[in-house]
Structure 1
C-alpha cells in the first residue's frame, strides 16, 4: 500500500540528573564535592533511506520516544548518554511543524539526517558549583527535558519525468511499455489510485525515473478528488509528459482536456506551470486519430509546446518519446524550491502570565522559567535559593504583582503549583 502522508509524535530523552556527593577517603579531610554531571538525553533523528518508497510504517507506529540520559555518579563520573531513536523515511520526505505548517526539513539524499527532537542536556553535579567562596555546595541540577511535539511528514516522489493527463488517456500503458513497472490497467477511469515509479533504461549508461501520476480532474488544484495528493508528486519532476487521448473515442475533446489540465497545474503552482512540458498524443492507432492530431498539433505548437504522436497499444513512437524526454530532463535548470524555515522561539527569557488557569489562579509560561523549574530540586534549600535568584532576575514576581496576584493565591509553572508569598525584594513602595 502506498502512503504518502503521516503525522507522528517525537519526544527526545531528558538529560540525566546531576549527582550531589563529596569525596570521602581515609586521611583526606574535607575532600570537597565530586558529584558528576548527568548524561545527555537521546535524540529522535529522521534518516532518508533509498530502500523505502512509502510512509506506510507510520500507519502502525506514530510515537517515537528516545531514552533519557543516565544520572551522574560519584568521583565526577558523567552519566551515559541516552540512546538515539533513528526513524527511516523515504527519499523526498518533507518534514513540517504540525502547529505552524512551516517546512523544517527536506530529506532528498540517501543517509541525510534531521534531528527532529533534541535530547536535553544532563544536569550539572555539585562539583560544578564549587567556588572559592562556596566550597561545599550540596545541590545539583536535574536533567533538562528533551524537546517534543507533533510533526507532519509528506512524501514527494523523486522522479525525472512525470506523466500527467486525464484518467484513461493511457499513462499506465505507456509506463508499463517503457519500464518494468506493472501498474493496474483496465478500461475504466481511476484504475491508478497511487503514483507508480518506473526506471526507463535507454542504454547501459542512460536512464531516468518516470512517474505515472494518477489522472487529474477539473478542480484538482482546489482539492477535488485526490487533487492535492496527486499534484504534490509532480512538484519535483524535471519534465512533464502531458498525455492526451487524441482519438476522442469517449466523446472528449483533446484540446479542451489539454487546456483544463494546464489550468489545474497553474492554479496549484506557478512554478509547476513553468515546468518543461512535452505533449504526447496517444492512441494514434485508433480511427479519427490522424485527423485530430493535425488539429491538436497546430493548436499546441501555437502555444509553444512540442508534440509527439505515439500508440501505447502498439508501442509505436514510444522509443523516440523516451529519448526526447531524457534530453529535456538533461537540460532542466532547477528553480528555487520552498525554503526550509525555522520555528521562531523568541526571547528564551520572555514569559507570559495567564490568569485563571484550570487548576491555579495564575500560570507562568516561558522557555527559561519552565526549564528552570524542571531542572531544580526544590527539596534542597541551596537549589531553592538559586531558583529564587533567577526568579528575581527574570522579574516574574513584578509581572505577577502587576497582574493583581494576592498572597495565598496559587501559581502554576509546568506541573508545579505553589502558593504565592510576597518576597522581601518584591516591595515596590
Structure 2
C-alpha cells in the first residue's frame, strides 16, 4: 500500500523495506484498536481534541489535551492512513459512540448554512431549465401584452378621430339642411307674394278646351274617302248617320287628289265635320317638305268648329307599290314622322293625327313611343281596336274598323266631344 506524506520523515526520503512480519503485526494492531474503540474501551485522541476545542476538558483532562493527535488513535499506527468513513474512522465512530449525536449537532451548528432557496423552486438541473423556460415565456408574454396594449391604444385613437369626423359631418349636414329649409321657405314666401299681386285668371271649363280618349270605342261614326271613290253622294252618307268625313288631299310632294273639292266641300254642305289627310312617302322626301306640301294643298286647319286637324297616313308600302317599310330603318321612319309632325304644328298650331296599323308600326317603326301626344287613328278590322301601339296607352282617337264597301270609322267620344276636338288647340 502507498503511504501518505505524513508517514514519511522527509519528502525525498526513500522508504525502508519492511518485512512480512511487520505488516501482519500492524494489521492485527489495527483491528484490535478498532474493536477497542467500538466497545468504548479506548478513546480516540480526535474525540478528546474536539471536545476540548468546543468546551472544558473531557475525561482525559489537561494531559489528554497536551498529547492530542489530529488523525485519530489509529492514525498513530505507522503506515496507516484512515479515511473518515472507514471502519474505526471519525464518521464511523460518530454514528455508534455514546454522545455522538450531540457532537455531530455541535459540529453541524459550527458549519455555515447554505443560502435559502426561493419558495417552491428546486435547484435541480431539470427544474432550473424549466424555470428558465418559464421566465423566457413570461418575458415573451409581457412583450406581447405591451404590443397589444399599444395596438388597442392606437385603435382607440383612430375610433375617437372617426367619431369626431362623423360628428363634424352631421353638424355640417344639419347646417346645410337648415340653410336649404330657410331658402325654400323664403322662395315660398316670395312666390306667395307674387301670387297675391298677380291678377286672377279665369279658366274655361275642361269640356270646352280639352278632349281625351274616353274609352267609348263606338262613338260618333264617320267615313274617309280618296280619289278612287270619285264623286261621293254625301246626302246618302249623312242620312246613314255618319257625322264626319276625312278626305285625302295629297301624297308625297307631287300628288293631289283630283276629286278633293267635291269631296271636301260636299261633306261640309250636308253638315258633316270634315278634315283632310296626307299619305306619307318617307322614301321620296323629308317629312317637313311633305307637311308644307300638304298644308298648301288643302291640309290647313282653322278653329271654326267644323274643320278637323290634318292627318298623316303612314302604313304598309304595298299600298303604293313599294316594300313594306319603304326600304328604310325604323330610325329613318321615326325621323320622317317627327319632321312632318313638327312642321305641321308650326304651320297650323295643331299636332296632326297619325293613322297607322299596330303590326306595321311595330315592324317598321320599332314600336316607337315618341308620338304619344299626337292623336291616334288605328286601323284594326276586329271586333275591338286591340292593343295600342307605341306610346298610345291612353287609347285611340279614331278607329277604322272596316273598309267594305267604304272605309268606316268611329270617333272615341260623342258628337259633342268631336266638336270639342275639332276646335281645341290641345294638345300643344
Larger relative strand fraction? 1
Q: TM-score, normalised by structure 2?
A: 0.24
- Name whichever structure is richer in helix by fraction: 2
Which structure has the larger Rg?
Answer: 2
